[in-house]
């Protein structure tokens, strides 16, 4: 009996979202288990052998029992070809894959930090947290206004958050600077009475500084890592990242979400 994790996903909607992103809504069979926040899927962007490999994508929303939402940016030939696909097309999908974000214990305050195109998994997490009545503080950073999550997602983040902080490097939206400029002082507030947990997804340099801040403030921190992948199943060993205790960890299998202190930054 072949696994339901290998399926055909049908494009329901595929539109530009803001100036940098595409929004892809996929219909998935009811047999596929719904992705947990932080899990990902592999999508093949063509039926041919070029490009050969499937691409990993984070999930931003589970819209219905049989539809999921993905945001991505065109970063190479694979995503460029994907951006040309139209509703009605089916794509080979593998997933959901990997280990997602662990939900916090009761009474813990979630702090979410995202940079650039790393927002989708944190959006799914923010929604799950809100549903369970957590009061999340959310930090969103970008190079400029156009790199921020598209308006609809930004609005949704605001709805899920008890407080939302935005920075852009050029000051075109929110506060000018890096997201850690706001995040770090917030974490080191001396009168912090509530225990917190940090969840982060974004460029590796951002994750590294987030994890440094987290360690300094002794706040547990979970990061979602990105690496180039071939199989997504832990077989090819292609997506490994360095482990602090020595050796490597596979982003697709042990991750993509890791405790920040597991990683050799």
Phi-psi region of 204 (alpha: psi -120 to 50; beta: other; left: phi over 0): alpha
**3-state DSSP assignment of residue 182:** helix
Find the angle CA(26)-CA(61)-CA(113) to the nearest 5 degrees.
135
Q: Is 3 in the site for another protein (CB under 8 A)?
A: yes
Pick from 14, 44, 127, 165 the residue near another protein by CB under 8 A: 44
Question: Given the complex with another protein, which of 83 and 172 has the nearer CB atom?
Answer: 83
Interatomic CA distance for residues 197 and 174, integer angstroms: 24
Tokens of 60: 């931003």
Taking a C-beta distance cutoff of 8 angstroms, is the pair 199, 101 a contact?
Answer: yes
Interatomic CA distance for residues 113 and 109, integer angstroms: 13
The DSSP code for 3 is: -
Contacting range for another protein; rule: CB under 8 A; set: 112-120, 171-179, 195-203, 227-235:
227-235
* Matching residue, tokens 């950073």: 141
Per-residue CA distances from 2 to 7, 32, 94, 96 (Å): 10, 12, 12, 15
Question: Given the complex with another protein, which of 104 and 256 has the nearer CB atom?
Answer: 256
112-151 residues near another protein, rule: CB under 8 A? none
Closest CA to 122 of 130, 107, 112, 135: 112
Q: Is 11 in the site for another protein (CB under 8 A)?
A: no
Pick from 111, 247, 259, 262 the residue near another protein by CB under 8 A: 247
Q: Is 28 in the site for another protein (CB under 8 A)?
A: no
146-185 residues near another protein, rule: CB under 8 A? none
55-84 residues near another protein, rule: CB under 8 A? 78
Contacts of 169 (CB under 8 A, 6+ apart): 141, 142, 143, 144, 176, 177, 178
Closest CB 252 distance from another protein, rounded Å: 10
Closest CB 179 distance from another protein, rounded Å: 25
Angle between helices 204-216 and 179-187 (to 10 degrees): 20
79-108 residues near another protein, rule: CB under 8 A? 92, 94
Closest CB 38 distance from another protein, rounded Å: 20
Closest CB 228 distance from another protein, rounded Å: 6
Pick from 11, 53, 103, 108 the residue near another protein by CB under 8 A: 53
* Matching residue, tokens 């399926």: 7
Pick from 16, 132, 176, 248 the residue near another protein by CB under 8 A: 248
Pick from 54, 148, 184, 201 the residue near another protein by CB under 8 A: 54
- Chain residues binding another protein by CB under 8 A are 2-3, 5-6, 44, 49-54, 78, 92, 94, 227-231, 233-242, 246-248
């Amino acid at each position: 009996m072949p696994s339901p994790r290998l399926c055909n996903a049908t494009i329901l909607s595929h539109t530009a979202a803001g100036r940098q992103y595409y929004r892809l809504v996929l219909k998935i069979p009811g047999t596929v288990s719904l992705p947990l926040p932080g899990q990902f899927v592999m999508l093949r962007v063509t039926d041919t052998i070029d490009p050969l490999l499937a691409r990993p994508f984070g999930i931003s929303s589970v819209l219905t029992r049989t539809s999921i939402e993905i945001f991505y940016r065109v970063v190479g030939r694979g995503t460029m070809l994907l951006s040309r696909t139209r509703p009605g097309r089916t794509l080979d999908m593998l997933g959901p894959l990997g280990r997602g974000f662990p939900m916090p214990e009761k009474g813990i305050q979630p702090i979410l930090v995202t940079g650039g195109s790393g927002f989708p998994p944190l959006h799914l997490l923010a929604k799950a947290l809100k549903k369970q009545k957590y009061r999340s503080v959310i930090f969103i950073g970008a190079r400029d206004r156009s790199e921020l999550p598209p308006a609809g997602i930004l609005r949704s983040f605001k709805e899920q958050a008890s407080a939302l902080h935005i920075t852009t490097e050029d000051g075109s939206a929110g506060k000018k600077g890096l997201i850690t400029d706001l995040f770090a002082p917030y974490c080191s507030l001396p009168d912090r009475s509530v225990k917190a947990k940090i969840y982060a997804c974004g460029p590796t340099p951002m994750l590294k500084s987030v994890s440094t801040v987290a360690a300094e403030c002794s706040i547990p921190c979970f990061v979602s890592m990105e690496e180039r992948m071939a199989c997504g199943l832990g077989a090819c060993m292609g997506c490994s990242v360095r482990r602090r205790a020595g050796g490597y960890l596979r982003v697709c299998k042990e991750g993509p979400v890791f405790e920040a202190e597991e990683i050799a930054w």
